[in-house]
Amino acid sequence: MSILELSVRAVIVCSVTAAATPGPRRGRGGPSFSDATPAEVRAALIPEEAAEFDQQWREVMARAIERLDLSEVLATLESWRRVARLTAVTGPEAHRAMYRRAAARLAREEIPADEPLPRIKARLGL
C-alpha cells in the first residue's frame, strides 16, 4: 500500500462520524452496506460518484460477459459498498469535504470549497 493510499485511508477513517442516515441495513456504527445491491449502493452515492459508479459498473459487467468471470464485478461492488457506507454515515457534504481535507493534507495547501470533486480526486490519484 502506497503512502498516498495510507494517507487517504487515514483521513477517511478520521472523517467517519456516528451520524445516523437511512441505509440498506442498520448496524452498530450506522447503515451496513455489506450485502447491498448495486442499486442500493448507487442510491447512497453523491451524484458525482454515482456517475463514476455507473461508468465502472458498465465496464466491469462488459468484461465479465466476455470472460465469464464475476470476480472483478464482485470486487468493484465491494469497493463501492465502502464508499456508499461512508457517504451514508457522514452525509453528502461531509463526504465531499473528506476528499478536500485529504487533498489539502497531501498538497499542504487549502483546496477551494468550490473545486469540482473529479479534480480533487485526481489530486489524490483516485
Per-residue pLDDT at 125 exceeds 70:
yes
pLDDT of 24-67, one tens digit each? Answer: 555 456 677 989 999 999 999 999 999 999 999 999 999 999 99
pLDDT of 100-118, one tens digit each? Answer: 999 999 999 999 888 999 9
Q: Which long-range contacts (CB under 8 A, 24 or more apart) does 89-96 make?
A: 89/16, 89/17, 89/18, 89/19, 89/21, 89/29, 89/30, 89/31, 90/15, 90/16, 90/17, 90/19, 91/19, 91/21, 92/46, 94/15, 94/17, 94/19, 95/46, 96/46
Task: Give the residue with greater pLDDT, 58 vs 14.
Answer: 58
Q: pTM, whole model, 2 decimals?
A: 0.72
What is the structure's pLDDT at 31? 73
